[in-house]
């Protein structure tokens, strides 16, 4: 594979610059660098880190990433644009960041340019998108600048941006995925193909039953340009069931029922983009966008007409998908996710949605937030592997990043409410009577408006798929069988 790509202890080959770093560097490589995004804060962050990198090493700047996030209002462009000379004086005295007055002032000036310039930074970035069919073969193949970066830099300078030379702009283009410069052999490279498990001989993440039979084995595969973690029961023939992760869990939420549900169908479980161990993209962090993504994934992976099981954050995504392609899904199972309009959520979920911004949540390690959330599982005992996977999936500020999804509910749920009556997909709704986050009124709201639905309320809290696993399995299996090709023709 060469010195430019190193296989980590988790079996994933990575660009050497990340593989030899700490956990934060690895996560940045896996989930951020080279991932296409046109989210304004993400663009501004990448631009700002490039400003401070000028004349310094990337490792120095990256090590202060969280300090910059605090100093510049989580890269909220409007807030930074409103900062004053007094703020500059204060930041020059802040030892947690790079105390260069010119670069601090340039960051404020760049925020102001972002608020007024036309075309926007996102539009300019899109105009320079470049798709690779062949990934660079080595670090030596990577340029420090290109003619496109030079032209991009000139446009930015004409709009009032500062510290935006061709080298800085090319680094920005790499960072936000305008170009993908992951090295050939890296699992993030554009031409990477997941080797067959047996031929590769690498250890995969797996859960093993008491009998020693492997239950779930995870792999990575691209969908809509993103690396998506998935598990496939690999049963051929019969129905296909697509299972979506709940939040803040991962696809291993299905370990309890996996083997039993797999007896009668092929199962494909995924971590949705931005959740679990899948790559994220800011423009997908809403139910409506995620519904469109699901249809793309189904097409790209050749899943045909799968039944979809999507509790929690999957609820809105599944219903939006069903509304966009009314013939695609033979049945769906949803519930325990925000659905009502006006919004009816409580507890921490309500706090996340209504908070002015996510800075408070980003300031806390996501592992701690998830550990607290998992305390809501009342009956089921998580395996140590599942618990650690959940905690790792949202470590650092990953939880805060994924929270953007539920913050889109006030915008997306009114649109969904208007579409419910037109959905033809038969929908099984499962909710917990004692859910402290999503009251069962959300399930009742759906049941009253969907043309073909069935409502079951379990005597559980939020985590119906785990605390009520046996009943959840039977309801799901019965619903799929009733709406399978064999069941509907009988």
Q: Return the number of other C-beta atoms located less than 10 Å from residue 365's C-beta.
A: 16
454-490 residue pLDDT tens = 999 999 999 999 999 999 999 999 999 999 865 554 4
**Is the backbone peptide bond immediately before 119 cis, with ω within 30 degrees of 0?**
yes
237-258 residue pLDDT tens = 789 999 999 999 999 999 999 9
Task: Kindly write down the DSSP assignment for every residue of 326-387, as one continuous string.
Answer: TTT-S-EEEESS---SS----HHHHHHHHSS-SHHHHTS-HHHHHHHHGGG--S----HHHH
DSSP code for 405: T
Name the token pair of 370: 């998830």
φ, ψ at 110 (rounded to 5°): -65, -35
Least confident of 180-184, 330-334, 356-360: 356-360
Q: Return the number of other C-beta atoms located less than 10 Å from residue 55's C-beta.
A: 7
Q: Return the number of other C-beta atoms located less than 10 Å from residue 370's C-beta.
A: 21
Question: 411 burial class (0-12, 13-18, 19+ CB within 10 angstroms)?
Answer: exposed
Q: Using 50, 70 and 90 to split pLDDT, how confident is the model at 41?
A: confident
Rounded Cα distance between 32 and 37, Å, is 9
Q: What domains are there in the chain, each with its CATH number?
A: 5-175 (1.10.340.30), 204-489 (3.40.50.1820)
Nearest one of 94, 114, 1 to 52, comparing CA atoms: 94
pTM, two decimals, is: 0.61
Question: 72 burial class (0-12, 13-18, 19+ CB within 10 angstroms)?
Answer: buried
């Amino acid at each position: 594979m060469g010195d430019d790509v190193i296989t980590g202890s988790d079996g994933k080959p990575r660009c050497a610059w990340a593989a030899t770093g700490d956990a934060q560097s690895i996560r940045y490589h896996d989930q951020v660098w080279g991932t296409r995004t046109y989210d304004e804060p993400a663009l501004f962050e990448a631009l700002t880190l490039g400003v401070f990198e000028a004349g310094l090493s990337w490792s120095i700047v990256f090590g202060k990433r969280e300090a910059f996030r605090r100093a510049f209002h989580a890269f909220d462009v409007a807030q930074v644009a409103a900062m004053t000379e007094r703020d500059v004086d204060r930041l020059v005295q802040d030892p947690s960041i790079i105390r260069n007055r010119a670069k601090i002032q340039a960051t404020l000036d760049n925020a102001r340019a972002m608020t007024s310039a036309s075309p926007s930074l996102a539009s300019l970035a899109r105009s320079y998108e470049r798709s690779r069919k062949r990934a660079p073969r080595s670090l030596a193949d990577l340029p420090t600048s290109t003619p496109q970066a030079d032209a991009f830099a000139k446009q930015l300078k004409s709009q009032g941006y500062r510290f935006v030379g061709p080298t800085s702009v090319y680094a920005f283009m790499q960072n936000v995925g305008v170009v993908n410069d992951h090295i050939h052999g890296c699992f993030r490279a554009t031409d990477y193909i997941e080797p067959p498990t047996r031929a590769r001989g690498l250890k995969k993440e797996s859960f093993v039953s008491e009998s020693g039979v492997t239950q779930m084995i995870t792999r990575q595969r691209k969908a809509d340009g993103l690396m998506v973690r998935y598990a496939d029961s690999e049963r051929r023939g019969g129905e296909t069931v697509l299972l979506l992760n709940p939040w803040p869990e991962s696809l291993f939420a299905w370990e309890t029922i996996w083997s039993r549900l797999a007896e009668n169908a092929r199962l494909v479980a995924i971590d949705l983009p931005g959740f679990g161990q899948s790559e994220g993209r800011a423009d997908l962090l809403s139910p409506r966008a995620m519904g469109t993504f699901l249809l793309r994934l189904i097409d790209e992976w050749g899943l045909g007409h799968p039944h979809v099981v999507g509790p929690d954050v999957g609820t809105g995504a599944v219903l939006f998908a069903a509304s966009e392609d009314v013939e695609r899904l033979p049945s769906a199972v949803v519930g325990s996710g925000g659905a009502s309009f006006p919004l009816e959520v409580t507890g921490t979920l309500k706090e996340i949605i209504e908070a002015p911004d996510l800075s408070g949540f980003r300031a806390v390690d996501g592992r701690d937030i998830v550990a607290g959330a998992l305390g809501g599982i009342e009956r089921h005992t998580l395996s140590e592997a599942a618990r650690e996977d959940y905690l790792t999936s949202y470590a650092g500020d990953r939880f805060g990043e994924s929270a953007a999804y539920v913050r889109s509910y006030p915008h997306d749920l009114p649109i969904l409410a208007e579409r419910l009556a037109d959905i033809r997909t038969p929908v099984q709704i499962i909710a917990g009577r004692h859910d402290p986050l999503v009251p069962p009124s959300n399930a009742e709201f759906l049941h009253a408006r969907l043309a073909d639905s069935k409502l079951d309320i379990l005597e559980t809290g939020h985590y119906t798929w785990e605390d009520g696993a046996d009943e959840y399995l039977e309801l799901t299996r019965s619903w799929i069988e009733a709406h399978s090709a064999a069941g509907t023709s009988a």
